[in-house]
Structure 1
C-alpha cells in the first residue's frame, strides 16, 4: 500500500515538473516569437567607388528574452568581397565578429569568383539594445570590360537575413510558422545551432562600379605598342651614338 502511495506521488510530482517546465519553455518561446515578429532589419550603403560600407540596422523588440542571441547573414555576390584581414582588425575594436564560409582571393576579378556568405555575430552582452548597427566594409572587384558602351555595372545586394535564438527556448515547434535554419553557434564555428529567421520584405540595395571600355582595347594596345617601339628606336640610336663617340 505504501509502495502504491509512493509511486502515485512520484508520478504526480514528475508530471507537475514536466508541466511547469513546458510552461516555462512555452513562455520563453513566446518572448522569442514576439521578437521575431516585431524586430526589423534595414540595410544601406555608404561611401563611393570601389570601397563601400554596408550598414545593417537592427531594431529589436524591447520585450525579448534576456539571453537573446542574434546572427546577421550576408550573402555577398561575386562582384564584391570582404577583406578578412581588415575584418580581423576591426573585430578588436567593435562589438561584433565575422565568420566567412570560404577563403577569399583578393586579386581575382569578378567573373572568376563565386559569391560568399558572411556570418556576423553581434555581442549583446546579456542585454537587448533598442537599436543595433553593424558596419561591414566591402570592396568591389574588377569586372570584365564592356563592349556595349556601358561605363558602370550594377551590384545588387540581397537584404541580410536576421536569425535569433535563445537557450531557454528548446521546443522550436512553438515558433511556427517562422522558419528554423541551421547555422554556426558562434564565430568560432565549433558547433551548429538552430536559429529562427525573421520575416521581412525589404528590397535589394544596389550600387554601381566603373568598368573599362572594351572598344578602346585595340586603340590603347596599338598606341602602347607604337610608343614602345618609338622609345626603343630612340634608345637604340642613343646607345649607338654613344658607342661611336667612345671609339
Structure 2
C-alpha cells in the first residue's frame, strides 16, 4: 500500500461522521470529535461543501449534512452492484444453454471490465477472470459498448487511445492490437462500429485471443441507454457459421433478459 495522504484521510473521516446520529453536524462538533485544529476543519468542510459532498442545513444555521455528490457516488456503486448480481444470474442461464463462457462487461474509459463471468463446462474452454480489463476495440463486448456511445464520445475515446501511443505508432495512427486479427485502423474501426450499432450485435473473430471467437449483445437500462454488454466466447475449434448464429441468438436473449431486469422495456437491438 502506498503512503496515505493526511488531508484526504481527514476529509473521509469527516464524511464518515455523518453516518452517525441524525446526519447533521456543525464545524465545532467535527473539530471536537476528530481532534482537528479549527482552521483545518474549516478548510476541509469548506472544500467538501464547494464540491457538493456537504451542504448547509437551511433550517439549522451552522450545521451540515451530506450533499448530492455522495448520493450520486452511492447510486453509481449500487447500480454496478445490481448489474453485477443480476448479470451473474443471467450469465448462468445463458452458459447453461450453450455450455460456453459467458461474461457481462462494462466500459471503463477505452477498456472493458468484466463484472460477471461464468466459465464453459467444456474441457477446452475460454476461462475469463472477473475484473480483467481489455482494450475495448479488440473485444466483441467492447465494440458493442463503443457502438452504443454517441459518435463524439466514441471518437473522443479512440482519440485518447491514439494520443497515448508511442511516437512511431502514433505517427501511423494505428491502434494497438492484441492479435494479428485485431482492428487497428481507426477508420476501419469506426465503420465497423457503425455497422454494429445498426445491427445490434458485435462479433469478434480471434481479435483478443488467437484461439477464441466471441459474440456480444447490448444491455440497456430503463432509459434505453447501453450500460453493459453480454458476450459468449468459444474456442475457434467449436466456431462455425451455424454456431455463430446460435450463440448470437442466445446472447441477444440473455442481454434482453438482463435489460428487462434493469427496467428496460422493448428489444435490445
**Normalising to structure 1: TM-score of the pair?**
0.30
User: Which of these two proteins has the greater Rg computed from alpha carbons?
Assistant: 1
Q: Report the structure, 1 or 2, having the larger helix content.
A: 2
Choose between structure 1 and 2: higher strand proportion.
1
Larger RCO (alpha carbons 8 Å, 6+ apart): 1
